[in-house]
Amino acid sequence: MKVLKIATAGSVDDGKSTLIGRLLYDTKSLTDDKLEAIEKTSKQKGYDYLDFSLATDGLVAEREQGITIDVAHIYFSTASKSYIIADTPGHVEYTRNMVTGASTSQAAIILIDARKGVIEQTNRHFFINNLLRIKDVIVAINKMDLVDYSEEVFNTIKSDFEKLMAKRDYQGQKITFIPVSALKGDNVVNSSERTPWYNGQTLLEHLEELDLEDIYNTGTPRFPVQYVVRPKTEEFHDFRGFTGKVYGGELSVGDEIVVLPSMTRSKIKNIFFYDQEYQTAPRRSSVTITLEDEVNVSRGDMLVKVGDLPTIDKQLTATVSWMDSDSLVTGGKYVVQHGINKVLAKVDAIEHKINPDYSGIEENANTLQMNDIAKVRLKFNKPIFYDRFKDHRTNGSFIIIDTRTNHTAGVGFIE
């Protein structure tokens, strides 16, 4: 059984929640009591259809305003796959939620209202999914029922979108266009007779066939040490286990490793998962490692293979997406959390802001407001061990914490 995590993006009223509700309904994933509640509330509101957004909009303010404010996670499965959908709001001030949802997703659905076509928001949604290097993007052109299922409308939107694609940075991204009506159920799970001109797959058919290539697997393992286990019991008197999650590739017993930043060399002696010993720790496993030699290792240190070192530096340049209502300022001091490692950081310079519609860059910027995306140079009080985001998703990204509020104020993708 495979797991596919999908982020959704769309503007207010594009029908994102309705689309997700439709997926749940047509895959028979809604339980009777939930369906009953939707029927009851739809009737109370005087609708002549079932309002599936009621299944996902979990907050009172969302139901009142009929919009999605915060990321919700929705789970459903088919015979072949388990799906986790991050329902991310399209409202302009909540762009950070979209970046958040996309950061852990393998695929994304961008919704477009067929009546409105490609708008500024669509630009932004595509830009973010491209920035985060999401492998598969599905452009669902929704509300086809309101444009008489017109092939011409579909083709116009498709060609407008293709103009955006020409300017994208990550050209390897796969993009698929599907005409749907979430409300009426056309081409979501079941293919529609009302779009005879469309011979492609329905949304679900497409998702079912997506090739789940592991974009996190780079072959270069990184093991940030989270926590040192020292039981100090009679049985395990000298046990010093370094716990952490393996990123990028796998580690095996006998591997020659370097401890960063001390640059001490040793060999992996044991790999434990709970009380069992293993030969190899694959990517994404949370294991406990012991070393052949007594070396000093503490939280924030990193084990890597000899000859496979990341960049070790006290400065870097990154594309930063700013997420906080307090602006980022040149010269400002923050905490940067890179994986589990925290360092003090100073904003050396904002090289330029990037227009979210790909139309160009804006130089001479000294501050970043919420939703701004910019190339930023940062300096740290001590070195961190990083890779480029395009080479290593986890070791190539970091968050910026505002020390006054402790908020996660921004995210960076290392160049």
Name residues contacting another protein, limited to 169-228 (CB under 8 A): 212, 214, 217, 226-227
Is position 91 an interface residue for another protein (rule: CB under 8 A)?
no
Nearer to another protein, 1 or 166 (CB): 1
Q: Which of residues 34-63 bind another protein (CB under 8 A)?
A: 34, 37, 41, 55-61, 63
Interacting residue with another protein among 171, 199, 279, 296 (CB under 8 A): 279
Q: Which among 117-125, 172-180, 234-242, 256-264 is the span making contact with another protein, rule CB under 8 A? A: 234-242
Bond from prior residue into 261 cis (ω within 30 degrees of 0): yes
Alpha-carbon separation of residue 415 from 315, 328, 393, 396 (angstroms)? 11, 19, 11, 8
**What single-letter DSSP state applies at residue 70?**
S
DSSP 144-162: GGGGTT-HHHHHHHHHHHH
Is position 32 an interface residue for another protein (rule: CB under 8 A)?
yes
Nearer to another protein, 177 or 334 (CB): 334
Nearest approach, Cβ of 240 to another protein (angstroms)?
11
Nearer to another protein, 151 or 391 (CB): 391
Q: Which of residues 104-143 bind another protein (CB under 8 A)?
A: 104, 106
Is position 96 an interface residue for another protein (rule: CB under 8 A)?
yes
Q: CB–CB of 303/259 below 8 Å?
A: yes
Q: CB–CB of 161/118 below 8 Å?
A: yes
Quick one: residue 112, left, alpha or beta (phi over 0 = left, psi -120 to 50 = alpha)? Answer: beta
Nearer to another protein, 15 or 241 (CB): 241
Site string for another protein, 239-258 (x = CB under 8 A): x-x-xxx---xx--x-----
As a dihedral over the C-alpha atoms of residue 341, residue 106, residue 96, residue 56, rounded to 10 degrees, the angle is -120
Is position 406 an interface residue for another protein (rule: CB under 8 A)?
yes
Q: Which of residues 336-395 bind another protein (CB under 8 A)?
A: 337, 339-340, 393-394
Q: Which among 1-9, 111-119, 164-172, 302-310 is the span making contact with another protein, rule CB under 8 A? A: 1-9
β-bridge mates for residue 339, sequence order: none
Interacting residue with another protein among 116, 133, 168, 299 (CB under 8 A): 299
Distance CA 65, CA 53 (A): 12
Q: CB–CB of 345/315 below 8 Å?
A: no
Interacting residue with another protein among 144, 323, 368, 378 (CB under 8 A): 323
Interacting residue with another protein among 135, 288, 374, 387 (CB under 8 A): 288
Residue 112's nearest CA partner among 53, 156, 57, 62 is 156
Interacting residue with another protein among 12, 146, 164, 335 (CB under 8 A): 335
Distance CA 66, CA 373 (A): 28
Q: Which of residues 67-86 bind another protein (CB under 8 A)?
A: 69-75, 82, 84
**Residue 170 CB partners (closer than 8 Å, separation 6+):** 130, 131, 133, 390
Q: State the number of binding residues for another protein (CB under 8 A).
A: 87
